[in-house]
Structure 1
Amino acid sequence: MKPFHAGTGIVLLLLAGLQLVPRAPRNRATTTAGSFADRFAPPQQVQRALIAACLDCHSNNTRYPWYTVLQPANAWMNRHIQKGKKKLNFDEVAGYGIRKQRMQFSGIINALNEGSMPLRSYTLVHGRLAAEDKEMLIRYFTGLKDRSGK
């Protein structure tokens, strides 16, 4: 039997100690009147793609993976969610003025075209957005952007 390595013990002790750090509160799944889905009535395929690739970080309805009960995963995930919601929160878009909505829709289109969204760290766990879903979302948000200016 191999002797217990002191470095391993220190790492385990640090990980155990991290569990004492308070966890960030979880978003509560709430349906708000005037939400994106209510206001813009996206087709079912668009809604499915948004749920699969966007809404975990860009809405108030985050689905937390099992590992977020552990630190430091909880803190790391919470930072990503807070940054994502600050840039775009689908639960608030319906309440924006037309100019701000158009800016948000342009930002979504650009992020999808550049491949900067969804984040690589998200796709590693949840899978990549299929090319046809990406194109569908780009067409959908281009249509919304063009309509909202009229």
Structure 2
Amino acid sequence: MKKVLKIILATLLFIFIAIQFYQPALNVNKGQVYQTDFAKVYYVPTNVQRILQNACYDCHSNNTKDKWYANIQPMALLMKRHIDDGKAQLNFSEFGSLGSRRQISKVKGIANQIKNDEMPLASYKIMHSNAKLSKKQKKLMVNWMNKTADSLSTIN
């Protein structure tokens, strides 16, 4: 029985070490600010931009701040999938390339998800304490996003 357990543990250790050689690129365009970035397309107050960067940009932009665990498999692979899914839903780096009605819809969606505590995800807030929004920050974000969506609606 001990021999079987040792073989199983050795096999698991080998697999764990072997998968460390696969390192997916999480976000290949780090640090680059696009002309289509949300903050380039709209005037975003500093306090709102700071919240976006702390609570949203890691998963919803091309500028992820990697943590130490981003280089350890299988965490790196899970993070890549999570970031790819997040950017497919909303990418602040490419926000300006969306049509105006889609932008309005996205801004309203941001407000609703923050208001309903759907974003930032609870799993993200565990490892990123600065992404935990206070009631005041949530109110600021929801009000600013709704005001922005309303002003965009009047333009179109």
The answer to whether TM tops 0.5 is yes
- What is the aligned-residue RMSD (CA, Å)? 1.7
Do the aligned partners of 1:27 and 1:62 also contact (CA within 8 Å) in 2? no
Among 132, 135, 138, which residue is 1:131 paired with? 135
Once the two structures are TM-superposed, the CA of residue 97 in structure 1 deviates from its matched residue by: 2.1
* In 2, Cα distance between equivalents of 1:87 and 1:34: 16
Once the two structures are TM-superposed, the CA of residue 22 in structure 1 deviates from its matched residue by: 4.0
* In 1, Cα distance between equivalents of 2:143 and 2:115: 11
Which ranges of structure 1 fall in alignment gaps of 5 or more residues?
Answer: none
Taking structure 2 as the reference length, the TM-score comes to 0.86
CA distance 1:15–1:140, change in 2 (3 Å): same
* In 1, Cα distance between equivalents of 2:23 and 2:128: 26
Do the aligned partners of 1:23 and 1:71 also contact (CA within 8 Å) in 2? no
* In 2, Cα distance between equivalents of 1:41 and 1:49: 14
1:94-105 pair list within 5 angstroms: 94-105=96-107
* Aligned position for 1:122: 124
Among 107, 110, 124, which residue is 1:108 paired with? 110
Which ranges of structure 2 fall in alignment gaps of 5 or more residues?
Answer: none
Matched, 1:14 2:15: yes
Once the two structures are TM-superposed, the CA of residue 119 in structure 1 deviates from its matched residue by: 1.0
* In 1, Cα distance between equivalents of 2:48 and 2:41: 14
* In 2, Cα distance between equivalents of 1:9 and 1:130: 46
* Aligned position for 2:151: 147
1:1-150 pair list within 5 angstroms: 6=6, 7-28=8-29, 29-127=31-129, 128-150=132-154
* In 1, Cα distance between equivalents of 2:91 and 2:106: 10
Do the aligned partners of 2:59 and 2:83 also contact (CA within 8 Å) in 1? yes
* In 1, Cα distance between equivalents of 2:63 and 2:9: 38
Do the aligned partners of 2:26 and 2:83 also contact (CA within 8 Å) in 1? no
Percent identity of the aligned residues? 33
Do the aligned partners of 2:27 and 2:63 also contact (CA within 8 Å) in 1? no
Q: Deviations over 1:55-94 (max 9, x none)?
A: 0111111111111111111100000100000000111222
Taking structure 1 as the reference length, the TM-score comes to 0.90
The letter for the 2-side match of 1:97 is G
Do the aligned partners of 2:20 and 2:72 also contact (CA within 8 Å) in 1? yes
